[in-house]
Structure 1
């Protein structure tokens, strides 16, 4: 595959001084195996997007380092009008501004700070885990809004439908089936009947339209630094249809927000409670359990997800809602 690729319009080989697990780090950006915008393939991770601010399209390939356990070179290749800007931002995309040193020092110095052994082992097994920062606020909001109060399968199907129905071809040599997400302008003009046909709930389509209408201001929020995450969350939650959960899930990916936890999630509080205390809890209980790790709470949540817990399942399953005949 790599031998047949055309010469990239821009490229670089990053040489971080910390381990970087490219697939694990970027995996949170991929919405299912059939995501048209992000694909993990044998040659590396492909991403198709538009550069914030300019809207220039780009296809990017990030090849993993030889090892995810020790520092190593990470080749980055990009094609399209946005290639150079994408390569310039690759360090942030890969979470190289995400500094785990204080977290790791605490694990080493005070008996893991009360974290369960499985969580500590997860960190030792995955030293290359970073929190990516895309800066692409509108794209992420489109994705996360489609995940509001629906099943996992509905959320993935909604994103695929939106991109395949209203996205654009990505610059060559994007793999077959990969596309650029739709622009805000296109989303603003999606007819109401098409939202119904795509199984997008009315509250979701209204929120998507609000995001699209405010795209310019939202992209400015995406350009703000990780030290301004609280202000970004506050600004996002003033937008009707964007609550605390949606804002948190968004900034975790746009800003690599290491301390922003998604409250209001259908399962997360239960999982954190079981992992840290042995029993299920609610959002308030989850925040209490995570409070000793202020500054690193989302890092702890990510590690819980990698720790191999088998969480109990109670209560009714969330059923898909069909609004197409309403």
Structure 2
């Protein structure tokens, strides 16, 4: 154990221009995510491993990236550190595809340091994705944070209020109404419980395609949820969140100047970037691009008293 209290560590050498915050940002649900967030300049990410809970810290040191692991799962999370940081991301063919569209080419140049992470863990991202289904961001975060803090465990290491994601078996064993105080109605609660019951099989999927097939076979999980999961768990650069409320409009506006688009139009515009369609969406998000907004915002709802 070194002077920081870490049980394991390694030094990574990211490519020139690598952007840590941009690359790992998709792993955190806002700045206060209970399982992944920046603290004092370091990015912290937690996981359950076969050896027990582990917490990973990633911090820049000059041109290098230092990975430190804490807890019984320290060796496991440090071994995975390069993937979590996006350093296993394969950009083969993207530069050529990006060059076919001026907006994408500019985004690729401006955000050249962005890499897609691959956590290797399905259920933690699935937990969040199910709770994000068809609700506002505030509602989703409230449900996610409350679920983690109720059923997860404190993470090892020096950071306060950092949590290990819940055991799938714990979630699967809960009655649906336990989630009502968190703002989760029966539909999402039942989907979450079904997903948790299937977690062991999901974690054994060898690739994104197998995981997508198994995920979408679960009642309540469609293409949107599956794409949100495999893009993070497997680093699938081609995963497109079909069925999203905003992304089709963003793609249509950014790539064709059209203020509105449906899933079919989105997929047509993304077709030239096959293999990297999800990457293009990530770049649009990183740039803060969005279509003009019309109409009222989705209202917040509460199921706490149901």
TM-score grouping bracket, smaller chain normalisation: over 0.9
Whole-Å separation in 2 of the counterparts to 1:5 and 1:203: 48
Distance 2:130 2:95 in 1: 33
Q: Distance in 2 between matches of 1:235 and 1:151?
A: 26
Distance across 1 between alignment mates of 2:52 and 2:248: 39
The Cα offsets for residues 198-236 of structure 1, whole Å up to 9 and x where unpaired, read as 111211110111111112111112xx2xxx322321121
Out of 144, 163, 171, the position equivalent to 1:179 is: 163
User: What is residue 55 of structure 2 aligned with on the other side?
Assistant: 59
**Residue of structure 2 aligned with 1:42, choices 40, 43, 58:** 40
**Pairs within 5 Å for 1:1-326:** 6-17=4-15, 19-51=17-49, 54=50, 56-64=52-60, 66=62, 72-107=63-98, 112-116=99-103, 119-173=104-158, 175-221=159-205, 224=206, 228-279=207-258, 280-326=260-306
Q: Unmatched 5+ residue regions in structure 2?
A: none
Relative distance call for 1:310 and 1:187 in structure 2 (3 A) is closer
Partner Cα separation in structure 1 for residue 229 and residue 302 of structure 2: 25
CA distance in 2, matches of 1:74, 1:104: 25
- Structure 1 stretches (4+) deviating beyond 4 angstroms? none
**What TM-score results when the alignment is normalised by the length of structure 1?**
0.88
> 1:17: how far off?
4.4
Contact 1:21 1:64 in 2 (8 A): no
Structure 1: any 5+ residue segments left out of the alignment? Answer: 67-71
The answer to whether the 8 A contact 1:140-1:250 is kept is yes
C-alpha RMSD over aligned residues: 1.8
